[in-house]
Homo-oligomer: A and B are copies of this chain.
């Protein structure tokens, strides 16, 4: 039985789909993967999915510039996964609050907390499955992703010792985030949208301060989290950490 559902290569990047316990994922590699190559777990933002254009572009850069492997999965109720009635209520509450100009934080804290609780074990099962493939093996692992991807990634990094470096950001100091951040001591960068109407500077700084990491850098940029200067992301974080 083949782990992968499909297989295509374009512009030097090989893309394969897979399924782990009903969670759909995508793997990007060099045409012939090198066992033990670093693996980057790439999370997507709220309302997006595993192959949102920004994620695909960044995955291609990891493969082409660094020879890394990148995996992405859909969060519950995102991309190719059905959305539960409860999740739909949260989404409606979020969009309603945004329309009315009300604070999103109370809804985000609840919804993201629930998504993280479900998604962390899914990421860990995905990582188990990928590392068991002979062609990939168990090389160093990193995690990257802002907003919802950080709401999931920070507790994932707290729970998962295989993750050795991470790029987070665009998320505030909800209680479950602070608790997870205090358990994270790996090298990290934190993307910091400076003028986001929905995420205050103070709340992001409080979360950044909470990380136990001694090696951490804050990357602030003008505008909202919709305007990440992707070409400025410090992709040296992972090579520096993995050696």
Query: Which residues from chain A sit less than 8 Å from chain B, CB to CB?
Result: 192, 194, 201, 205, 208-209, 214-222, 229, 231-232, 234, 240
- In the bound complex, how far is the Cα of B216 from the Cα of A229, in angstroms? 10
- Residues of chain B with a CB closer than 8 A to A231's CB: 240
Q: Are B217's CB and A218's CB within 8 A?
A: no
Whether A218 pairs with B216 at a CB distance below 8 angstroms is: no
Give CA–CA (A194, B215) in the complex, Å: 13
| Other 14 A-B pairs with CB < 8 A, given A194-B208, A201-B205 | A194-B205, A194-B209, A208-B220, A214-B222, A216-B222, A217-B219, A217-B221, A217-B232, A218-B218, A218-B219, A218-B221, A219-B220, A220-B220, A234-B234
> Which 9 pairs from chain A and chain B are nearest by CB?
A218-B220, A217-B221, A217-B232, A217-B219, A216-B222, A220-B220, A219-B219, A217-B220, A217-B229
